[in-house]
């Protein structure tokens, strides 16, 4: 079972996913955030405190091939947005043209597919930010990122058994 859980910032999507995962005996929590500043470090600490100690936590945003998912009954990926952000902004992309961004999109999608394949037949919850509902970003690279993430959401939603949209802590089932 694959469930895509979308919502805005601070909408309750992570808590929703964590509550669903607690029904399982062995949870692998894939945390994709990187500590880049004090505020993000604080957020990560809050997330760590909220997780049950018995959950297996893996903190990385790419290169999952060497990881062992065999002990888990469920995989919670929190979140796809930060995974994509990490790869997208690994290097300066300001010189990229449309063709280079298309190759980057293929590269990131391959990383997502590889991750999903590694989870095997386990239940998977993917948390991600729905960033396409806000203002149109001012700069071209941010628009490319927004569009790319939106396309990833569409591709995952097609594969997903369930898609939930979280608003103010309340889940609306989309699929």
pLDDT tens for residues 114-147? 999 999 999 999 999 999 998 899 999 999 999 9
Give the confidence band of 74 by pLDDT, cuts at 50, 70, 90: very high
**How high does pLDDT run on average in the chain?**
93
For 111-115, the CB contacts below 8 A with 24+ separation are 111/62, 111/64, 111/83, 111/87, 112/80, 112/83, 112/152, 112/156, 114/64, 114/65, 115/30, 115/64, 115/77
Distance CA 102, CA 116 (A): 21
Distance CA 6, CA 80 (A): 10
Q: What digits encode the pLDDT tens for the residues 10-49? A: 999 999 999 999 999 999 999 997 767 787 677 777 777 7
Residues 6+ apart with CB under 8 A from 89: none
Residues 6+ apart with CB under 8 A from 64: 111, 114, 115, 118
Conformation bin of residue 12: beta by default, left when phi > 0, alpha when psi is -120 to 50: left
DSSP state at residue 54: T
Q: What is the CATH number of the domain that holds 140?
A: 3.40.50.300
> Tokens standing for 34?
């990187």
* pLDDT at position 16: 98
Summarize the confidence of residues 104-109 as an average pLDDT: 98
Domain count, the chain: 1
Domain that holds residue 95: 2-173
* pLDDT at position 119: 95
* pLDDT at position 110: 98
Task: Please tell me which residue in 20, 47, 93, 146 is annotated as part of the active site.
Answer: 47
95 as an active site residue: the answer is no
Summarize the confidence of residues 54-71 as an average pLDDT: 92
Distance CA 158, CA 163 (A): 9
């Amino acid at each position: 079972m694959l469930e895509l859980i979308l919502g805005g910032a601070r909408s309750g999507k992570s808590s929703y996913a964590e509550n669903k995962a607690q029904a399982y005996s062995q949870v692998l929590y894939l945390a994709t955030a990187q500590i880049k500043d004090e505020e993000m470090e604080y957020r990560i600490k809050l997330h760590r405190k909220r997780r049950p100690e018995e959950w297996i936590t893996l903190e990385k945003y790419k290169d999952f091939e060497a990881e062992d998912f065999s002990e888990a009954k469920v995989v919670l990926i929190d979140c796809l947005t930060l995974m994509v952000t990490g790869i997208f902004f690994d290097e300066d992309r300001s010189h990229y043209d449309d063709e280079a961004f298309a190759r980057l999109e293929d590269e990131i999608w391959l990383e997502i597919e590889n991750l999903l394949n590694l989870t095997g037949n386990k239940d998977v919850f993917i948390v991600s930010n729905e960033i396409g509902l806000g203002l149109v970003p001012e700069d071209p690279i941010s628009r490319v990122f927004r569009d790319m993430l939106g396309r990833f959401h569409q591709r995952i939603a097609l594969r997903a058994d369930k898609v939930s949209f979280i608003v103010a802590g309340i889940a609306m089932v989309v699929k």
